[in-house]
Homo-oligomer: A and B are copies of this chain.
Amino acid sequence: MARKASLSGFPEWLPNERLVELHVLDTLRRTFELHGFSNVETRAVETVGQLLRKGDIDKEVYGISRLQAGESTGDDPNALALHFDLTVPFARYVVENAGHLSFPFRRYQIQKVWRGERPQDGRFREFTQADIDVVGDGTLPFKYDVELALVIAEALEALPIGDFKLRVNNRKLAEGFYLGLGLSDTAGVLRNIDKLEKIGAPRVKDLLLDEVGASSDQADAALALAQIRTEDMSFIEKVRALGVEHELLEQGLAELGEVVEMAVRRAPGRVVADLSIARGLDYYTGTVYETVLVGNEKLGSICSGGRYESLATKGNRTFPGVGLSIGVTRLVSRMLADESAVASRHVPTAVYVTLAQNDSWSDAQDVAAQLRARGISAEVAASAEKFGKQIKFADKRGIPFVWFTQEDGTHEVKDIRSGEQLVADPATWMPAAEDLTPRIAAATA
């Protein structure tokens, strides 16, 4: 992956790189479907009004307009713009189709999104997200917060990405703690705690003093809370040791405890209670998730999400939701950059059927059709060049087998890699399972 995108921020992959991405997408789809998530796609565009509805938006939006019609983009809320995530469109979809959906509704959605941000390492202007959410009608049992952590851990575990940690926190825990401390601007505290990894504790403390009006003791306590990180239930004792009490804090401790207790049992080593996770400006109201690759923490979160008490509303009807979003492009670009996953070949073709004469093309297609009927990808040469040239054609693409039909009608198949050539019957011959389709292998470090 020495190539640079010809348009900064808009990555494109070569066919063998795309095979790695397809493997990631297929694996996610399979895991989500095994867990009963239905697939949905929404249109790429929303109205500007819909996209900016939550007001305090920190995403750069691309407006669209018909060139030939001389339309211009702008502040018109009915103007169209490309979606910057899959949550806003999904919320609209749920409201529009509520009468046709069964709640709690489990959906996965894998699509491109666009953000006009300055491109940099791991940040793109066009990228693919893979989201799962469960959304309820009026209420949504907390068990789904637990389940989604486990589904995502299973999905990520099935990818050739090495070790990862799903960091979980709970807004109720943090907000209850701040309220118990006597800090009422909980959003302000969270916004500054979110900067911890970027600017460090001393500067966050200054901001808490200056912007949120915290005392030095209050700021120290808020920072002490954010230091707590455990892979088991001991985070509860550590929070209690800080001596703060509030009803909301108790709720948060119980909820986070439920996630961690089940994760210890069902996904050991994958989930950590990390009380520094704040998820910035996002409108979560309970559980929040972030995920880092172990040893690659600088890449940022590859999978984030949380619980919304109100993902969407329709009249006086409220739809709470919990979900996570995987940054597929960020993940794949990292895998390609460090070659941690590679395709066993560049093309789907397993067998290249050679031509002895130009007029045997249809017979060669008969051979190929017999192979394809058993799921073996096969191509037929377009012209009867010298066999050496036809074999080289296949070899250059990494096609493992070439097929020859002799004048007497018998068939032979040659493994290009070993040179072994054997008599074969197009109606029954099968390649080894690992040669049937391109395989994606995690490189051994």
Contacts and interface: CB of A to CB of B under 8 A. Distances in A.
A40 B347 CA distance: 11
Contacts of A40: 13, 15, 18
A7 interface: yes
A63 interface: yes
Contact of A102 (B61, B106, B397): B397
A432 interface: no
The count of identical subunits is: 2
B377 A35 contact: yes
A335 to B, nearest CB: 16
A125 B378 CA distance: 36
Nearest to A31: B372
B12 A266 contact: no
A107 B67 contact: no
Contacts of A445: none
A236 to B, nearest CB: 19
A107 B365 CA distance: 19
A265 B12 CA distance: 40
Contacts of A141: 382-383
Contacts of A82: 64
A262 interface: yes
A382 B68 contact: no
Q: How large is the interface on A (under 10, 10 to 19, 20 to 34, 35 or more residues)?
A: 35 or more
Interface string A242-273: 00000000000000000000100110000000
Nearest to A352: B36
Given A14-B97, A62-B64, A45 B7 contact: yes
Contact of A382 (B35, B144, B348): B144
A150 interface: yes
Given A265-B362, A347-B36, A69 B60 contact: yes
B38 A346 contact: yes
A72 B69 contact: no
A41 interface: yes
Contact of A13 (B22, B41, B67, B378): B41
Contact of A38 (B96, B114, B347, B437): B347
A69 B112 CA distance: 21
A397 to B, nearest CB: 5
Interface in A17-73: 18-19, 22, 33-45, 47-48, 60-69, 72-73
Nearest to A128: B41
A304 to B, nearest CB: 22
A290 interface: no
A391 to B, nearest CB: 14
A126 interface: yes
Contacts of A97: 3, 14
A104 B397 CA distance: 11
A33 B67 contact: no
A349 interface: yes
A106 B393 CA distance: 13
A433 to B, nearest CB: 16
A102 B64 contact: no
Contacts of A72: 72-73
B126 A45 contact: yes
Which residue, of A43, A380, A383, has the highest number of chain B Cβ atoms within 10 A?
A: A43
A348 B41 contact: no
A375 interface: yes
Given A33-B377, A36-B379, A38-B346, A126 B60 contact: no
> Nearest 8 CB-CB pairs, A to B?
A66-B116, A36-B349, A36-B379, A15-B38, A10-B43, A33-B348, A141-B382, A143-B382
17 contacts: A10-B43, A13-B41, A18-B40, A34-B378, A35-B379, A36-B378, A60-B66, A60-B67, A60-B68, A60-B69, A62-B64, A62-B66, A67-B73, A67-B116, A68-B116, A106-B347, A262-B361
